[in-house]
């Protein structure tokens, strides 16, 4: 394993961690750096040895895409749940004003 390949693995781990923590701005920076190091590593390798790098890149890109889509879906579900909760609290809040405590006891 060359130094470039070791750096690629470190950057890939950093990218995965940042995406899983939903730190997308930092993940974009890690992705840019990963791409830069990938180009340098690919340029230093003989032509026939690029297949493994291509497979690793595709696997990382697909995994990252799935994590981002899952994070977006989760955020959308949380927002929908918050919207439902806020509508429910307005409903119960309006019902509270219609009767006073003394009216319930009578």
Quote the DSSP letter at residue 21. Answer: T
User: What residue spans define the domains of the chain?
Assistant: 3-105
pLDDT tens digit string along 18-76? 998 989 899 999 999 999 999 998 888 887 778 888 899 999 999 999 999 998 888 88
Q: pLDDT value at position 98?
A: 61
Q: pLDDT value at position 2?
A: 76
Contact between 17 and 29 under an 8 Å Cβ cutoff? The reply is no
Contact between 61 and 69 under an 8 Å Cβ cutoff? The reply is no
Predicted TM-score (pTM) of this structure:
0.67
Name the residue among 12, 23, 7 with its Cα closest to residue 57. Answer: 12
pLDDT tens digit string along 67-87? 999 988 888 888 888 888 776
Calpha distance 18→28 (Å, rounded): 9
Asked if the model's pLDDT at residue 96 lies above 60, the reply is no
Calpha distance 60→62 (Å, rounded): 6
Calpha distance 14→7 (Å, rounded): 10
Element (H, E) at 46: none
């Amino acid at each position: 394993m060359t130094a470039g390949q070791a750096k690629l693995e470190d950057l890939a781990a950093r990218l995965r961690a940042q995406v899983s923590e939903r730190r997308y701005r930092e993940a974009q920076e890690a992705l840019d750096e990963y791409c830069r190091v990938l180009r340098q590593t690919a340029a230093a390798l003989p032509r026939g040895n690029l297949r493994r790098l291509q497979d690793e890149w595709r696997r990382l890109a697909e995994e990252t895409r799935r994590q981002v889509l899952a994070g977006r879906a989760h955020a959308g579900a949380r927002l929908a749940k918050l919207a439902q909760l806020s509508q429910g609290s307005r409903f119960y809040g309006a019902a509270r004003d219609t009767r006073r405590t003394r009216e319930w006891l009578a």
